[in-house]
Structure 1
Amino acid sequence: MTDPTAWQKSSFSGADANQNCVHVRLAASGDIELVESDKPETIMATTPANFAAFLKGVKAGEFDHLIEGRRE
């Protein structure tokens, strides 16, 4: 089993550990922390509930227009 407090990245990211990735981990505070590989000094934190809601939205395609260059 993967240590939830260690930085993890999606298997859909490139093979290079620092290339075009968002890394995620469980912080000691209980928050979920995210960091972008291009700006590792900037860490964003959110609650597990907010992160779960975000993931549901991603899976449902709610943000597809952002990566396709469309505005809604």
Structure 2
Amino acid sequence: MSAPIQWQKSTFSGGGSSEDCIELAATNIAIHLRESDHPAALLTTSPTPLHALLSTLKSGRLASR
């Protein structure tokens, strides 16, 4: 039996009891992301593609043209 996933709120969520934030959980096989006000909708990935996505977002390469 596997342990329950431990979710961590983003530090950019403003703290407190706000439900408007992104949560992250890491297991031994995947990284999970969810929006706190829609917890059933999950994005599951591994470190390499997540790093590529975050690098692209930070660089602004996905900015609208």
TM-score of the pair, normalised by structure 1: 0.65
Query: How much does 1:36 deviate?
Result: 0.6
**Amino-acid identity (%):** 33
**Match in the other structure for 1:68:** none
Query: How much does 1:17 deviate?
Result: 4.3
Query: How much does 1:12 deviate?
Result: 1.4
1:26 and 2:34 correspond: no
DSSP 3-state at the match of 1:20? coil
Deviations 1:39-72 (A, max 9, x none): 0122220121110111111221234x4xxxxx43
After the TM superposition, list the runs of 4 or more consecutive aligned residues in structure 1 that deviate by more than 3 angstroms.
none
1:53 and 2:52 correspond: yes
DSSP 3-state at the match of 1:35? strand
**Alignment RMSD, CA only?**
2.0
User: Is the alpha carbon distance of 1:33 and 1:62 closer, same or farther for their aligned partners in structure 2, counting shifts above 3 Å?
Assistant: same
Query: How much does 1:18 deviate?
Result: 4.4
One-letter amino acid matched to 1:14: G
What stretches of structure 2 of length at least 5 have no aligned partner? none
DSSP 3-state at the match of 2:13? coil
One-letter amino acid matched to 1:62: R
One-letter amino acid matched to 2:38: K
Q: Distance in 1 between matches of 2:46 and 2:17?
A: 25
